[in-house]
Structure 1
Amino acid sequence: MDDCCSAGDGSNGRTGAGNERYDTVFDERFAERIARQYTKRGLTAPERRIVDYLVDEVGVDGARILEIGGGVGELQLALLERGASSTVNLELSAAYETTASRLASEAGVADRMTRTVGVDLAERPDAVGAADIVVLHRVVCCYPDADRLLSAAADRATRALVFSHPPRNLISRTGAFAVNLMMRLVGRSYRGFIHSPEAMVAVLAAHGLQPDYRHRDLSWCIVGARR
């Protein structure tokens, strides 16, 4: 998750500080691990599905992309390569920034990527401008109020929004319970959440986005919606 203050107007512009709840879990080691996996293997299967949906069904040529909680920015790099014009990343953890900056520079697209740390979009939906496409991958399960987050994200999307979430079943609920118990025992404030898929889709519909893509596997479900 992301942001602080505003998205800024400079390439790889960074403002604000991280959020302790997320910094202690999504730290520099985590960011480097994700970057190594991306460098060696490319996008994960869920990420490829997100990109394919946006490229094949929505169209990304010249599109402005807003990603909420994009981590090291691998989805943004893929969308820029496929023709998107620019990306804005909102992040609540400051720990991704060094690694994300390196990946953007190596790809030669740092001038087309803006990163902002510390603003909670659900709390401050006007802190960032609208975008053609809004992406939330592995984010709603990290946020307590999915309705508010998706409402704010939907209002930023002028053409389409795509998000992922864990399947809501006994396995995911048990996993979330175990993680949250561990976090409580070690004194960390981070918690994971398994929100209602139907309720999340209903939020998008209430904000004028009609779901036209849904994929479910054992680990991640993906929902795409367009105006």
Structure 2
Amino acid sequence: MDECCVPRVPNGYDREFNARFARRLVKNYRRNGLTPSAKLVLEVASSIGLDGATILEVGGGIGDIQLEALKLGAAHTSNVELSPAYEPDAGRLLDDAGLRDRVTRTLGVDLARTPTAVPPADIVVLHRVVCCYPDYERLLTAAAGRARRAVVFSHPPRDLGVRVVIGTINTFSRLTGNPYRMFAHPPEAMVDVLRGQGLDPVHRRTAGTWNVVGAVRA
């Protein structure tokens, strides 16, 4: 579960996801490419159609999925992030790839609270984010409202093993005064939110402990 997640309150985000965490992600990406779950997110987005598309990623971190989407033909990507810790490494990755002019990175925006702070995109991506945001209905509704064509998101299963792991991590965080929290939201309830916004979950795939849903607008 070390690929996830987001703290309960935005003020605690940069405490958990700091420069050290960002450097670890960059090192792994440069050495191994995308993680299996991130690859699956990209594959689902590709099956929906990346050529000439605009991508909005919520909590995209170092922007590795966006970089690979641009290489596959996406026209432009936007990243909405709460922590500033990712920015130096994300910028270096963009410069190395020669893609900085095709990416917009926005800091300090909680999409669930202020969805109109960013423009719409063809595909909205949320990888390792919804599972850790307290109000999944609000977040997914906001994501759907920004998506012209589709929403692609990942989540862990809500089985006993995952819930025990999440409970243990949250207990430790609470005892140490850390606002970091994880959540195992009900998968079908999350999908129902997107259905209510006119999106059909036509893609459902699994990579390890992560499930990926691609919901396409009718």
Separation (CA, whole Å) in 1 of partners of 2:194 and 2:143: 9
Q: Which amino acid aligns with 2:68?
A: A
**Which of residues 54, 60, 63 in structure 1 aligns to 2:45?**
54
Q: Is the 8 A contact 1:151 1:207 kept in 2?
A: yes
Q: Is the 8 A contact 1:167 1:216 kept in 2?
A: no
Sequence identity of aligned pairs in percent? 53
SS at match of 1:38: helix
Q: Which residue of 2 aligns with 1:184?
A: 174
Q: Which residue of 2 aligns with 1:21?
A: 12
Q: Is 1:152 aligned with 2:142?
A: yes
Give RMSD over aligned pairs: 1.5
What pairs with 1:1-227 in structure 2 (closer than 5 Å)? Answer: 19-55=10-46, 57-227=47-217
Q: TM-score, normalised by structure 1?
A: 0.90
Q: Which amino acid aligns with 1:36?
A: K
Q: Which amino acid aligns with 2:108?
A: G
Q: Is the 8 A contact 1:122 1:148 kept in 2?
A: yes
Separation (CA, whole Å) in 1 of partners of 2:114 and 2:123: 19
Q: TM-score, normalised by structure 2?
A: 0.93
Separation (CA, whole Å) in 1 of partners of 2:83 and 2:131: 15
Q: Which amino acid aligns with 1:73?
A: G
Q: Structure 1: which 5+ residue stretches go unaligned?
A: 3-17
Separation (CA, whole Å) in 2 of partners of 1:215 and 1:167: 12
Q: Which amino acid aligns with 2:122?
A: D
Q: Structure 2: which 5+ residue stretches go unaligned?
A: none
Cα deviation, 1:128-150, whole Å, max 9, x if unaligned, reads 11100000000012210000000
Q: Which amino acid aligns with 2:102?
A: R
Shift >3 Å, 4+ stretches: none
Separation (CA, whole Å) in 2 of partners of 1:149 and 1:213: 20
Q: Which amino acid aligns with 1:142?
A: C
What is the Cα deviation at residue 218 of structure 1? 4.1
Higher mean alpha-carbon deviation, 192-201 vs 215-224, is at: 215-224
Q: Is the 8 A contact 2:40 2:207 kept in 1?
A: no
Q: Which residue of 2 aligns with 1:9?
A: none
Q: Is the 8 A contact 1:19 1:94 kept in 2?
A: no
